[in-house]
A and B are shown apart, each in its own frame.
Chain A
């Protein structure tokens, strides 16, 4: 089965530093997402992206966050100035179509630790 690929699997950074989390969605998918999971808590939606623009974002996704699809394959999440509370597992996801029942494929996540 096709996979969503995320790199790195673990990222450690100092508070205030910028980080970029990378994702390669499934090649024929058009809708891209970032979710995050703080340790031991539920998975939360951050942002959805389609046609090179953000289609929806949550309250968590403030000005410190940005997303980009710099080329035809990568989808990135940038955190400009990391805070301790940004420590979480970040999941990238993609799907072929927007309909609510369309299967969402998740990557294996990037564990971000902010020190």
Chain B
């Protein structure tokens, strides 16, 4: 069965701190995709990144970086030099490629960045 675990329910940091949001997944599939979505206070779901299971290269996009480690089934997300605008709920999600096209979401991590 597929499952996504985000053990951190809430994280609080002060602006300019670095913060890492953890994501651990379970799947029996050898080919799958992982996603991160941001949900700001306004409620919409904003796509941040997708990564396929064959590409373990870490990715950096500005202050955001993602660390995909197949050996530990983790896909962690780091925000460097956090800003107040980063305050949101962040969801990690998993999708396999064969049986279904639905996304399985984790429970989300609420990040609060204080000035």
Decide if A100 touches B44 in the complex (CB within 8 Å).
Answer: no
Chain A: residues with Cβ within 8 Å of the partner, total of 26
Contacts of B32 in A (CB 8 A): 100
Say yes or no: is A101 at the interface (Cβ < 8 Å to chain B). Answer: yes
Contact among A42, A104, A107 for B107, CB-based, below 8 A: A42
Contacts of A107 in B (CB 8 A): 44
Say yes or no: is A103 at the interface (Cβ < 8 Å to chain B). Answer: yes
Say yes or no: is B103 at the interface (Cβ < 8 Å to chain A). Answer: yes
Contact among B45, B97, B107 for A100, CB-based, below 8 A: B97
Minimal beta-carbon separation of A106 from chain B (angstroms): 4
Say yes or no: is A111 at the interface (Cβ < 8 Å to chain B). Answer: yes
Decide if B102 touches A45 in the complex (CB within 8 Å).
Answer: yes
Minimal beta-carbon separation of A33 from chain B (angstroms): 7
Minimal beta-carbon separation of A90 from chain B (angstroms): 11
In Å, the complex CA distance between A101 and B35 comes to 9
Decide if B100 touches A56 in the complex (CB within 8 Å).
Answer: yes
In Å, the complex CA distance between A17 and B105 comes to 30
Say yes or no: is B33 at the interface (Cβ < 8 Å to chain A). Answer: yes
Say yes or no: is A51 at the interface (Cβ < 8 Å to chain B). Answer: no
Contacts of A79 in B (CB 8 A): none
Minimal beta-carbon separation of B97 from chain A (angstroms): 4
- In the assembled complex, 13 residue pairs joining A and B whose CB atoms fall closer than 8 Å, in A order, are A33-B102, A42-B107, A43-B103, A43-B108, A45-B103, A56-B101, A100-B96, A100-B101, A101-B50, A106-B44, A106-B46, A106-B47, A107-B44
What 3 A-B pairs come out closest when comparing CB atoms?
Answer: A100-B97, A108-B44, A106-B45
